[in-house]
Amino acid sequence: MGTHVEQAARGSHARRPLGRPCRACGSTNTWVELRREVDRSRPGAAGEWPYAVCQACGHAARGRRTQPAPQQRDSVARPPEGASNESTPAPGRDQSADRVEQTGSRKGRPPRPKATDERVEQLLAAAGYNKAITAEVLQEHRRFATHAGKPGLPRWKAAVAVLNGAMGAPEVPHVREIYSEEKRRREAQQARAARMRKQAGELADEHAVAAREQVARVRAETGEGPTWRELAAALGVKGPLASAMIDALHRRGALTSTKEPRSLSVTPEWMPPSDR
């Protein structure tokens, strides 16, 4: 294979078996790999050359640059014959845990820190656990508490609801139920918000003219506009829909206001939908 060549800076290129024994030691564990080094024929330039490398004795020899076939460029390096492949699972082995761990490492996220005993006890108390909290109980609920997140957040509330509903069951609920409950609650909240926006829009269309008249009258009498609560009370709208309706009146251009108190006023360019 020639004289020994010092190893240059290596890139992350796929390598492939050479298929020929090493001329120095006779080992068949020889590979072809690309190495990036300075091109002495062009000052300041760099290039890649194939090297035949023996894994047994470290002997390396530089070869000639050729244009490899496309399938060779994209080929994945195969381990030498007889070498053990630790990444290949044994037949019949459950690979679900391995897939979960590899997914987290593939995305580059750090491992989730386990919940402390205090956090587990806090979750059990919030869920209404009324039995003695022993070391075994803490260990059984630790993974569930780890996925519950921080107290007060939506995921924590979902975990509390799931755990409360499973009180008396022989096993701790699976952590998937936390995310399912969180998704169900989020979708229900979005549906409620959509219904409220629709009702507020209908009220705004119904009370747009009366709201403008009320704001104009209060400004003419007092020199400043009414508060949102006073306007909603004058229109007979109460509860959460009151502020949502006035927000809708702002979006429709019927009213305008600033952050200053009693800044409600009418917009002169607004026209009722029926007159447009």
Q: Which of 142, 174, 206 is the last residue of a domain?
A: 174
130 and 60 in one domain?
no
Q: Decide if 106 is inside a domain.
A: no
Q: Decide if 101 is inside a domain.
A: no
Q: Cβ distance 245 to 204 under 8 Å? A: yes
Quote the DSSP letter at residue 275.
G
Output the CA–CA distances (angstroms, integers) from residue 158 to 13, 54, 130, 226, in the order listed: 47, 58, 19, 41
Q: What is the DSSP string of 180-213?
A: HHHHHHHHHHHHHHHHHHHHHHHHHHHHHHHHHH
Angle between helical axes of 135-148 and 176-222 (0-180°, round to 10): 50
Q: Decide if 206 is inside a domain.
A: yes
Q: What is the pTM assigned to this prediction?
A: 0.53
**CA 68/CA 80 separation, integer angstroms:** 21
Range of the domain at 40: 16-73
CATH of residue 63: 2.20.25
Residue 266 — very low, low, confident or very high, per pLDDT cuts 50/70/90? very high
Over the stretch 91-123, which tens digit does the pLDDT of each residue have?
554 454 444 444 444 556 788 899 999 999 999
Q: Decide if 184 is inside a domain.
A: no
Tally of CA atoms within 13 A in the half-sphere of 92 that contains its CB = 0
**pLDDT, average across residues 5-14:** 46
123 and 66 in one domain?
no
Question: What domain count does the chain have?
Answer: 3
Q: Decide if 237 is inside a domain.
A: yes
Residues 6+ apart with CB under 8 A from 151: 122, 126
Using the predicted structure, report yes or no on whether residue 207 has a pLDDT greater than 50. yes
224 and 168 in one domain?
no
- pLDDT recorded at residue 258: 92
Using the predicted structure, report yes or no on whether residue 198 has a pLDDT greater than 80. yes
Q: Which of 140, 174, 208 is the last residue of a domain?
A: 174
197 and 169 in one domain?
no
Q: Which helix (H) or strand (E) holds 156?
A: helix 154-165
Q: Between residues 143 and 60, which one has the greater pLDDT?
A: 143
268 and 198 in one domain?
yes
Q: Between residues 239 and 35, which one has the greater pLDDT?
A: 239
Q: Decide if 23 is inside a domain.
A: yes
Q: Decide if 27 is inside a domain.
A: yes
Q: Decide if 96 is inside a domain.
A: no
201 and 155 in one domain?
no
Instruction: Indicate the residue type of 54.
Output: C
212 and 165 in one domain?
no
